[in-house]
Amino acid sequence: MNEVYSGAPERLVIPGDTIEVSGEVTTGSGIIKLNNKLIATQLGHIKENNGTIYLEACNSAYMPRSGDLVIGYVTSMRGNLWMFDIGGPFEALLPMSLSPWNTQYGDLEEHMGVGDYALIRVQEVDSQQGVVCTMKGIGLRKIATGVVEHIGSNSIKLFVGSEGKNLQKLKKDSGCRITVADNGKIWIEGDEPGILQVRNISLEFSNSNTPYPNRELIKSFNKKMEEI
């Protein structure tokens, strides 16, 4: 493998820090070219993947991307579409034509009303950050049972674990179905004791005082996972 990034492995950088590289390299998110130098734009770790170096931010707001699986709730309805809060800077639109129901204009409320949660997918994000979602797809639906918890998009990687090992362990131990959405929400379905077990872990994140996993949170989370 061609190592182009010559800095310390997974170096922690802050905005404005220069990134040293040898030779040609493609840059991914979080890195810009300024005055012939590569500059980090966020607090995060520099990583390399097949000749592309990118920055993995420690903390960033959830920015929806096409293909993301998200859990959101209806904030309003107008015409033939539902407006969803999916935790991004803008609300997302779900038009009736992209829902599994075939209803008349104005009969949205029969199927989903204000305050209802749903598992949907981001279909498209335009240049003005307008978001359109779809409920047509396997597994996508209104969420009527179980609980929805917030772990934050910055904590998904930690929660799921490398190759999903944390998530598998949690599912097995609790007997619950756990859906982890890209916008940092999780949906837990199962019996009450099972849900309680999963929440015991997810509470580390929802109770936390920071929107990203810092050292203390990582430590206490790992400890709880070991006890399973």
Partner 1 sequence: MVEIVPRLLKDQLSRLAEKDCRIDDRKRFERRDIELEVDVLTNAEGSAKVTWGGTIIYAGVKFALREPYPDRPAEGSLMTSAELRPVANVKYEPGPPSPESIELGRVVDRGIRESGCIEMSALCIVPGQNVWNVNLDIHVMSDKGNIFDACALAGIAALKTTIVPAERYDVGEDYALPVNKMPIMCSYRKVGGRFVYDPCEEEELGGDERVHITLGDDGHVHSLQKGLKGSFSTSDFAEIFKNAEEQASELRKMVEEKVN
Partner 2 sequence: MGGYGDVELITGEGKRLDGRLADELRPISIEVGVLPAARGSCRMTWGLNIAEVAVYGPMEAHPRKIQRPDRAVLDVRYNMAPFSTSDRIRPGFNRRSREISKVTAEALESIVMVEMFPRSKIRVEIEILCAEAGTRCCGITAAAVALADAGIPMKDMLVSVAAGKINGVVVLDLDKAEDNYGQADLPVGIMPNTEELAFLQMDGDLSPEEFNLAMEYNMKAAKEIHKLQMDALKSKYEGGDQ
Site membership for partner 2, residue 72 (CB under 8 A): no
Cβ at position 94, least distance to partner 1 in Å = 15
Smallest CA-to-CA distance from 139 within 66, 69, 65 is with 69
CA–CA dist 120, 138 (Å, integer): 10
Site membership for partner 2, residue 12 (CB under 8 A): yes
Q: Could you list the residues that contact partner 1 (CB under 8 A)? A: 73-75, 85, 114-117, 143, 146-148, 192, 199-200, 203, 206-207, 209
CA-derived radius of gyration, the chain: 20
Contacts of 190 (CB under 8 A, 6+ apart): 146, 174, 175, 176, 177, 198
Q: Which is nearer to partner 2, 77 or 212 (CB)?
A: 212
Cβ at position 145, least distance to partner 1 in Å = 9
Cβ at position 210, least distance to partner 2 in Å = 5
Tell whether the torsion through CA atoms of 199, 168, 205 and 131 is positive or negative.
Answer: negative
Cβ at position 211, least distance to partner 2 in Å = 6
| Interstrand relation of 117-125 and 69-78 (parallel, antiparallel or unpaired) | antiparallel
User: For residues 164-193, which are near partner 2 according to CB under 8 A?
Assistant: none
Binding at 18: pick from partner 2, partner 1, none (beta carbon under 5-8 Å per type):
partner 2
Binding window for partner 2 (CB under 8 A); candidates: 125-133, 143-151, 171-179, 197-205: 125-133
Is residue 149 within 8 A of residue 188, CB to CB? The reply is: yes
CA–CA dist 136, 209 (Å, integer): 36
Site membership for partner 2, residue 20 (CB under 8 A): no
Smallest CA-to-CA distance from 60 within 202, 149, 183 is with 183
The conformation of residue 137, written as its DSSP 8-state character, comes to S
Site membership for partner 2, residue 52 (CB under 8 A): no
Q: Which is nearer to partner 2, 30 or 190 (CB)?
A: 30
Residues lying near partner 2 in the complex (CB under 8 A) are found at 10, 12, 14-18, 30, 32, 34-35, 39, 41-45, 57-61, 89-91, 127-129, 157-158, 209-215, 218-219
